[in-house]
A and B are shown apart, each in its own frame.
Chain A
Amino acid sequence: MSLALSEATLSLRGQRILDGITLRLAQGEQAALIGPSGAGKSSLLLLVATQYRAASGSVQLLGAEPWQLDSAALRRLRSRIGSVYQHAPLPALQRVVTAVGAGRLGQLSTLAALRRLLWPQDVAGIRAALEQVQLGDKLWQRCDRLSGGQRQRVGIARALYQQPDLLLADEPVSALDPRLADDTIALLCRQAATRNSTLLVSLHSVELALAHFPRLIGLRDGQVMFDLPRSEVTPALLAALYAGDTPPEPDDTPAAKLPRVAPC
């Protein structure tokens, strides 16, 4: 089993975010996570990414219980789990080559990591990852010179470059136009299938989920409302899942500004 959650709950700042989640994905399986905003899709992905620790229940990833491991083993496990974020977590003034290369930091010694910072290594591999998202020409660009959609795709290239056994993606195409979004989801599915990686993607667009994923998991109020093969997801089920949903305001995090005032 690549991913096995059993009755997992998550609380943040005293608030119950996820409640009794039970979910299993076999190695190589692909599933989409859908649901209204605030349902806990991002939190569930962060829980699986070992960003959060479950308050109760069990979380098994790639055959290991992450929070039972010592720190070296946890690092090794984490290096096998890749994440794509809605807002790519790229330092504004870092260059694309470094940001994508950082995907493999978990597989490198600290010394090798520092050497790469001064002298980029495996430029060919990084370029290949970027070319998959059609950004091969942005290799030497700085991240803050990219558009929101380009940043999102650089984030995807980083996760692909990591070559994880479990790939998680949180709204990975929210900043892309519909055609590019479709191509990008197809790319994620294809790459995961080639490497036999497990793929779990949260999507705001039900159409994309239905078009690309054999299995859909509906999340509402921190609970799994349904977990069904694509053919059994009915319009009535979807209507119940999204009842009363209001789409969130789009937000864009501004780049860090340099100080303007001299300190005295």
Chain B
Amino acid sequence: MLTAKTLSARDPALAARLGWIIATPLLLLAAMYYTGFDPRLLLDADTLATLAHFAGEFFPPSHDPVFLASLWHETLTTLAVASSGTLLAMLVGLPAALLTSRALDRDVLTGEAPSRLWHWLQNSLRALMVILRGVPDLVWALLLVRAAGLGSLPAVLALGLAYGGMLGKVYAEILEAQPRAPAAALAGSGASRLAIFGYALLPQAAHELISYSVYRWECAIRASAVMGFVGAGGLGLLMDTSIRMLNGGEVGALLLVFMALVALTELISRLARHAVESRRGGLVLAAACILLQLAAFGWLGPQWQDSPFDVGGLLRFAGELLHPNLAPAFLLKVGGGMLETLAQSALGTAFAFLGGALLALPASQRGPRWLRYPVQLLLNILRGTPDLLWGAIAVLALSLGPAAGVLALALHTSGVLGRLFAHTLENLPPEPEAALRVSGASPVARLAYGLLPQALPQWIAYTLYRWENNIRIAAILGLVGAGGLGQQLYLALSLFQLGNAATLIAAMLLLSWGVEGISRWLRQRLE
């Protein structure tokens, strides 16, 4: 079609491009000003000396028998909490998905008149799921610890609620992505919702449902490893103590265990997702899951015997949370906290994008071998160390405040993104770059014209997803003194100001939804 626009000699995308090129650094500069994060601080001799001194104390890792015994105990608790929490999340998520998935709606499948009441109920359930997953798991744990006492029980419940909301949405979406014909045929012959699921959708979607659940378990291990920071048991408990005591040797030992856990769960997760492919593998996987759940319950059950958990107390607590503090002066303060959290998450993620991009090239298969393995090791250390722990370390280096939160997010996320970016690079079709090579393009030009145009959209999509994650983490980094909403929430809960806590949690929800919306909008522009 010959329109004025397509025939113009001027680049029609130029204005938008210039806009992005000018607006992005300006926004980041504003965020840097607001959070007080100065990248030059990282090269400051004092900061580096503090960090080097602290890191130097990691060696040798503590091998005190008493410490090692509790390390073993808490490692098992962490694994058990993650497994039971994932099971609980599936018990929440699967029914929710079956009730809300449009793939099972009769009116969608057969064209019958929709039922108003049913859709109203579905939407209410969806809204509940949104709240369940919108509140960070650590905040759930923080609340449940207040209501149900210290220990691993609140951690399991927190994972069940937060991940239940997530699984409910993702399961429903997986069902909606399946071919519709078999379900429509069954619906036409009058089958019930459950029958349609069992006979038409489950056979198609089983692999995807299982592999996503396994992947969620992998995430749950990382989450349960830091639950102890709010008193909910597991390795985080030891980590919190060791950092407060500035016991470098213990922190070193804990870090080694964290990395080993992350590596182990990734291996198991990969094996499990592979096992689903064959019938025998599926049976082995099912047996392993049942054994794991029994073992987890056997390990955690005795711990829960003397838990002060009582449903009445929980309900009273929840009731008090329904009265948020809406005083203007307090709302203004919360608004400031929201802005700070938003700036922290955006800035940390942006620096992580740069860090990840810089590390991805040498970490991928195109890097020379002598450089590749050290860089991969660095990436594993960066992402193997939980964000909350980076927060605690950054607070030591930069002192209390939002700048430490930015640094923590940037470091942890650089590791996560660097690995994903390298993976992306390795899986790109090589033809565009090869064609440029044989037409004489220089290495940098090949990168800019052949490789990055393919990699960049995927990198940006990953970064945006990660930003959605980081806004939640930024909201809780305050728990270790790294600024943002978390600091206010921790204070409110410590002083039993539940009205304030309720407002702060609502603010976290709003932020999380806002960032999800922006991220979705930006990702659609990439397509």
As a 0/1 sequence over residues 229 to 267 of chain B, the CB contacts with chain A under 8 angstroms (1 = contact) are 000000000000000000000000000000000000000
Considering the chains assembled together, what is the distance between the CA atoms of A89 and B439 in angstroms?
A: 12
Interchain CB contact (< 8 A) of B431 among A82, A89, A117:
A89
Considering the chains assembled together, what is the distance between the CA atoms of A107 and B445 in angstroms?
A: 11
Chain A residues within an 8 Å CB radius of B437: 51, 78
Q: Is A54 an interface residue (CB 8 A)?
A: no
Give chain A nearest CB distance to B215 CB in angstroms. Answer: 8
Chain B residues within an 8 Å CB radius of A127: 9
Contacts of A81-120 to chain B: CB distance below 8 A = 81-83, 85, 87, 89-95, 97-98, 102-103, 105-110, 113-114, 117-120
Q: Quick check: B440 and A264 within 8 Å, CB to CB? A: no
A105 touching B438 in the complex, CB below 8 Å, given contacts A98-B449, A258-B461, A263-B420: no
Give chain A nearest CB distance to B519 CB in angstroms. Answer: 9
Interchain CB contact (< 8 A) of B444 among A82, A110, A120, A259:
A110
Interchain CB contact (< 8 A) of B439 among A82, A118, A119, A136:
A82
Q: Is B64 an interface residue (CB 8 A)?
A: no
Kindly report which residue of chain B lies nearest to residue A124, judged by CB atoms: B9
Q: Quick check: A140 and B11 within 8 Å, CB to CB? A: yes
Q: Is A8 an interface residue (CB 8 A)?
A: no
Give chain B nearest CB distance to A222 CB in angstroms. Answer: 21
The number of residues on chain B lying at the interface, defined by a beta carbon within 8 Å of a beta carbon of chain A, is 54
As a 0/1 sequence over residues 465 to 479 of chain B, the CB contacts with chain A under 8 angstroms (1 = contact) are 110110000000000
Give chain B nearest CB distance to A111 CB in angstroms. Answer: 9
Q: Is A139 an interface residue (CB 8 A)?
A: yes
Q: Is B7 an interface residue (CB 8 A)?
A: yes
Interchain CB contact (< 8 A) of A263 among B3, B13, B431, B466:
B466
A259 touching B6 in the complex, CB below 8 Å, given contacts A51-B438, A113-B441: no
Q: Is B12 an interface residue (CB 8 A)?
A: yes
Considering the chains assembled together, what is the distance between the CA atoms of A256 and B526 in angstroms?
A: 12
A113 touching B442 in the complex, CB below 8 Å, given contacts A137-B7, A262-B469: yes
Q: Range of interface residues on chain A? A: 35 or more
Q: Quick check: A263 and B465 within 8 Å, CB to CB? A: yes
Chain B residues within an 8 Å CB radius of A51: 434, 437-438
Kindly report which residue of chain B lies nearest to residue A140, judged by CB atoms: B12
Chain B residues within an 8 Å CB radius of A78: 437-440
Q: Is A162 an interface residue (CB 8 A)?
A: yes
Kindly report which residue of chain A lies nearest to residue B526, judged by CB atoms: A258
Chain B residues within an 8 Å CB radius of A107: 440
Kindly report which residue of chain A lies nearest to residue B427, judged by CB atoms: A256
Q: Quick check: B449 and A258 within 8 Å, CB to CB? A: no
Which A-B residue pairs are the 7 nearest by beta carbons? A106-B440, A79-B440, A264-B219, A78-B440, A105-B441, A262-B465, A91-B453
Q: A91-B449, A261-B465 given. 14 additional CB < 8 A pairs? A: A75-B442, A76-B440, A77-B440, A79-B439, A113-B442, A114-B445, A114-B448, A118-B21, A119-B11, A127-B9, A139-B6, A162-B439, A262-B468, A263-B469
For this complex, 16 residue pairs linking A to B, each with C-beta atoms less than 8 Å apart, are: A50-B438, A51-B434, A51-B438, A78-B437, A83-B438, A85-B435, A89-B450, A93-B453, A102-B449, A114-B445, A118-B17, A119-B14, A256-B428, A256-B429, A262-B468, A264-B218
